[in-house]
């Protein structure tokens, strides 16, 4: 029994479709985990700033120091601005269940950026 060239093309197409769908699912999962991770980082920053108080004390160099140390330890992605937006993500969506699994960090970044002065 010999497979025809048409059946082989169908095999290639089916495998290609599976790969594309798998890659799309992986990207969605990674984006969801990234947004949740950034939300949790924001939560840690807010809790550190507030030290159990209702409002944070200002005037510290927390973001500059944190940015420098996290970048040294973990690489790119921890600029002062990014950390400010992680904090703002948490403050804007204090119930993590309200975060969309469709939106990426870039989407949230733009929403938060247009929302107020950081």
Residue 34 has what pLDDT?
Answer: 93
Could you report the per-residue pLDDT of 55-78, keeping only the tens digit for each? 655 656 889 999 999 999 999 999
Residue 118 has what pLDDT?
Answer: 45
Tell me the Cα Rg of the chain: 21
Could you report the per-residue pLDDT of 2-27, keeping only the tens digit for each? 789 999 999 999 999 999 999 999 99
6's tokens:
């048409």
Q: How many CB atoms lie within 10 A of CB 52?
A: 5
Could you report the per-residue pLDDT of 44-60, keeping only the tens digit for each? 999 998 775 656 556 56
Distance CA 35, CA 101 (A): 9
Please determine, for residue 91, whether its predicted confidence score (pLDDT) is greater than 60: yes
Burial class of 90 by CB neighbour count within 10 A (0 to 12, 13 to 18, 19+):
buried
Share of the chain above pLDDT 70, in %: 88
Residue 49 has what pLDDT?
Answer: 84
- Taking residues 19-45, report their average pLDDT: 94
CB 23 within 8 A of CB 83: no
Question: Cβ neighbours of residue 61 under 8 Å, at least 6 residues apart?
Answer: none
């Amino acid at each position: 029994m010999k497979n025809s060239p048409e059946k082989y093309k169908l095999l290639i197409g089916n495998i290609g479709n599976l790969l594309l769908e798998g890659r799309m699912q992986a990207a969605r999962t990674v984006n969801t985990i990234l947004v949740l991770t950034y939300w949790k980082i924001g939560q840690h920053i807010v809790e550190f700033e507030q030290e159990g108080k209702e409002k944070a004390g200002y005037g510290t160099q927390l973001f500059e120091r944190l940015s420098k140390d996290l970048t040294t330890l973990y690489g790119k992605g921890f600029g002062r601005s990014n950390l400010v937006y992680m904090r703002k993500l948490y403050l804007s969506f204090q119930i993590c269940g309200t975060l969309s699994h469709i939106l990426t960090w870039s989407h949230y970044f733009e929403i938060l950026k247009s929302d107020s002065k950081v």
